[in-house]
Amino acid sequence: MAWDSRARRVMMIYLPLSCFVLILLFPFYWMAITSFKPNAELLNYKEHNPFWITSPTLAHIKHLLFNTAYPTWLKTTMFVAVGSTTLSLFASTLAAYAIERLRFRGSPYVGLGIYLAYLVPPSILFIPLATVIVQFGLFDSPMALILVYPTFLVPFCTWLLIGYFKSIPYELEECALVDGATRLQILRRITLPLAVPGLISAGIFSFTLSWNEFIYALAFIQSGANKTVPVAILTELVTGDVYQWGALMAGSLLGSLPVALFYSLFVDYYVSSLTGAVKE
Partner 1 sequence: MSVTTLTSPALAVRQPGWIVRLFDYKPFLIVMCLAPAIGLLAVFLTYPLGLGVWLAFTDTTIGQRGVFIGFENFQYLVKDPLWWNAVFYSVVYTGIATFGKFALGFWLALLLNNHFPFKSLLRAIVLLPWIVPTVLSALAFWWIYDPQFSIISYLLVDVLHWRSTNVDFLGTPWPARFSLIAANIWRGIPFVAISLLAGLQTISPSLYEAAMLDGASAWQRFRYITFPMMMPILAIVMTFSIIFTFTDFQLVYAITRGGPVNSTHLLATLAFQRGIAGGELGEGAAIAVSMIPFLVFATLFSYFGLARRKWQQGEAND
Map the footprint of partner 1 across residues 157-216, applying CB under 8 A. 158, 177, 182-184, 208, 211-212, 214-215
67 forms part of the interface with partner 1 (CB under 8 A): no
276 forms part of the interface with partner 1 (CB under 8 A): yes
Q: Which residues of 15-30 are buried (b: 16+ CB within 10 A; e: fewer)?
A: eeeeeeeeeeeeeeee
146 forms part of the interface with partner 1 (CB under 8 A): no
- Binder of partner 1 out of 124, 171, 179, 239 (CB under 8 A): 124
Q: Which residues of 183-214 are buried (b: 16+ CB within 10 A; e: fewer)?
A: eeebbeebbeebbebbbbbbbbbbbbbbbebe
User: Closest distance between partner 1 and the C-beta of residue 169, in Å?
Assistant: 19
Q: Which of residues 15-34 bind partner 1 (CB under 8 A)?
A: 16-17, 20-21, 23-25, 27-28, 30-31, 34
240 forms part of the interface with partner 1 (CB under 8 A): no
User: Closest distance between partner 1 and the C-beta of residue 253, in Å?
Assistant: 8
Stretch that binds partner 1, among 52-60, 62-70, 195-203, 244-252 (CB under 8 A): 244-252
Using alpha carbons, list the distances in angstroms from residue 248 to 68, 184, 230, 267, 277.
12, 50, 11, 27, 35
**At residue 57, what is the residue type?**
T
Q: Between 77 and 116, how does the x/- string for binding to partner 1 read (CB under 8 A)?
A: ----------x--xxx-xx-xxx--x-x-----x---x--
- Binder of partner 1 out of 59, 65, 125, 190 (CB under 8 A): 125
DSSP 169: -
The helix/strand/coil state of 216 is helix
- Binder of partner 1 out of 61, 74, 80, 154 (CB under 8 A): 154
> Is the distance from CB of 36 to CB of 58 less than 8 angstroms?
yes
> Is the distance from CB of 217 to CB of 230 less than 8 angstroms?
yes
